[in-house]
Amino acid sequence: MIEALKAGLILVGAIFMFLAALGLVRLPDLLTRMHATTKAATLGATLIMLAVALHFGEVAVVARALGVIIFIMMTAPVAAHVIGRAGYFVGAKLWHGTVKDELRPHYDPLTHELKSGMEPDDDARVRGPGDDASG
């Protein structure tokens, strides 16, 4: 029973890792490649570490395997976010079939400034709230 479970976990984990690598090669731009690698590789490593925990079955090894799983699950999204952000700043091209890029109208790549589109217009900002109170 445990043998079969272990074999299944190892195989499924390896297949997910292979799919992640396939996606990394086949997909068209940076963000879609990260979409493929981050999630699938995290799941693959998690499944294989679960198989390790099942195989040894000692407290120390299971704790370490769960530690690896928790660490990967916590750091993979952070790393992906940071790389994606840096890629957008550097100017990685999006796929030509991209439907929507909601950041483009609000982001100025030269000054690194982000606008929400809801700021008060310029003369209101120049006048300021204090002037309203005095006049």
Only segment of 6-14, 98-106, 119-127 that touches other proteins (CB under 8 A): 6-14
Could you tell me the smallest distance in angstroms from the CB atom of residue 119 to other proteins? 25
- For residue 89, how many C-alpha atoms fall within 13 Å in the half-sphere facing its CB? 10
2: contact with other proteins by CB under 8 A? no
- For residue 11, the Cα-to-chain-centroid distance in whole angstroms is 25
Query: Which residues does residue 108 pair with via DSSP β-bridges, in sequence order?
Result: 113
Only segment of 26-34, 96-104, 115-123, 125-133 that touches other proteins (CB under 8 A): 26-34
14: contact with other proteins by CB under 8 A? yes
What is the DSSP annotation of 55-69? HH--HHHHHHHHHHH
Nearest alpha-carbon partner for 37 in 91, 87, 111: 87
Could you tell me the smallest distance in angstroms from the CB atom of residue 131 to other proteins? 38
5: contact with other proteins by CB under 8 A? no
104: contact with other proteins by CB under 8 A? no
Q: Tokens in use for 128?
A: 């300021």
Phi, psi angles (nearest 5°) of residue 29: -140, 180
Nearer to other proteins, 91 or 129 (CB): 91
67: contact with other proteins by CB under 8 A? yes
Nearer to other proteins, 2 or 124 (CB): 2
